[in-house]
Amino acid sequence: MSLLDIYLLDAPILRQETTPVARVTDDVRRLIDDMFETMYAARGIGLAAPQVGRSERLTVVDVEGARYALINPEILDREGTQVGEEGCLSIPEIYGEVERAQRVHVRAIDREGNPFELDASDLLARCLQHEIDHLHGRLFIDYLSMVKRQAALRKWRKQRGDDRSLTRKIVPAEAAAHHERDEEL
C-alpha cells in the first residue's frame, strides 16, 4: 500500500465533477486501500478520490469504527438538520460551522462490487455529506457566510505565504507524533 499526496484548495481537480466508476477492478481496490492508509495517516475521518488526484466517484470514511468504502454513492434521503464544525484535509487548519442534514440514507457499491444501503446520523452523516460533496466539486467553505468564507480564505492565504504547491505529502501519524514530542522538548 502507498501513502498518496493530498490535493489542496487551489487544485482545479477539487472543483470538478467526478466520473462514475464503471467496474470495480483491482485498480479501484488498490485505490481504496491507499486512500484508507492515507486517511488514517492524515488523521482524517473521510477522504474522497479527488483529494488524492483521482476524478472518480469514490470515497472512504471511518467514523468511530464505522468504516466504509463507497463507490458511486448517492444520498437518497435526508432528514432534520445539525450544525457542527468541519475541517478538510485539503484545507488544513481551517475550520467552520456547517449546517447539514442530521440523518441521511445513502446507496453505494462496496469494495467487492456489491450494492448496499446505509442509514447514518450525527458525525457519520456529516462526514458522508462532506465526502459526497467532494465528488461533486463542492467544499465545506462553500456553505460559510460570505464574511466567514472571506476570513477563512484570508487565513488560508496567510498561512500559505509564497507556497504555491497544489499537493501536500502526508507524514505517517506515528512519525508526526515523534516530531511533535521532539518539538515540545
What residues are labeled active site?
Answer: 131
Least Å distance, CB 87 to ligand K1U, is 3
C-beta separation of 80 from 67 below 8 A: no
Of 113-132, binders to ligand K1U (CB under 6 A) are: 126-127, 130-131
C-beta separation of 75 from 136 below 8 A: no
Contacts of the segment 28-33: beta carbons below 8 A, 24+ positions apart? 28/56, 28/58, 28/71, 29/111, 31/56, 31/58, 32/58, 32/60, 32/69, 32/111, 33/1
Residue of minimal Cβ distance to Zn ion: 88
How many residues of this chain bind ligand K1U (CB under 6 A)? 15
Examine residue 88 and tell whether it contacts ligand K1U (CB under 6 A): yes
Name the residue nearer to Zn ion (CB basis): 89 or 109: 89
- What would the x/- binding string for Zn ion be over residues 79 to 98, using CB under 5 A? ---------x----------
Name the residue nearer to Zn ion (CB basis): 24 or 129: 129
Closest among 34, 35, 55 to 45, alpha carbons compared: 35
From 24, 28, 41, 47, residue interacting with ligand K1U (rule: CB under 6 A):
47
Residue that is written with C-alpha cell 504555491 in the block: 164
From 49, 86, 125, 132, residue interacting with ligand K1U (rule: CB under 6 A):
86
**Contacted by 14, from ligand K1U, Zn ion, none: CB < 5 to 8 Å by type:** none
Q: Which positions touch ligand K1U (CB under 6 A)?
A: 44-48, 86-90, 126-127, 130-131, 134
Residues found near Zn ion in the complex (CB under 5 A): 88
